[in-house]
A and B are shown apart, each in its own frame.
Chain A
């Protein structure tokens, strides 16, 4: 049986995975592989409502709530963005909305990808994280 990791442990795990890379190109190669491997969202879910308009590449996000936990699926036109989305989903899936809202997604800057979150980067990633948190907010027990 798989051991359930906490959200922090999942972030730490990703950070240590990235520590083995010596240079940027290796890091990106890994991200691209993640992007290529992951079937992130069903085609029929790529609707206007699920679209997050980025200036350069578009992102689609779907959120579900089952048994008190969030499930995300997403996609992007750009494969590097898709790779980063894969990491985000790995960290945030199967978590309680409360946990998602209070988590600082520190791993992104720890692995040196913070530039992808800057609003000027315009790849939709920033908007996607905001949307993930907004979705989680919907399911907070009042």
Chain B
């Protein structure tokens, strides 16, 4: 059985998503919707990391339940820099790049949840399947937001 590998990989990618979302949020402090929505979505991934660490124990894994995040001062510097950059045109391109990156990371994580759910169903691991069914929709919502926000932002940035 290789379910442990799948759990470990998901733990890694959800952990990475927390970092991606939080640093993206800090970089776009002046874009208030991006700032708050990214933070709200990071909460989901943080919870997923904790849930995966908890269930990982049943599969002989020792995973960290706390998502590894950037230290506070670095986040503060990013936010300050974002405030100084303000609403010039360059942050628009940066936002597109960040959204594109987030979309790819979240889509990868979402596929991993799909794999884990299929594996759990095949191995009749009820608890693992429940977890996947609970977390996968949130992972999809992260992807969908990145995609829809790309649509909202790109015309203004690319056509100006």
A and B part of one assembly = no
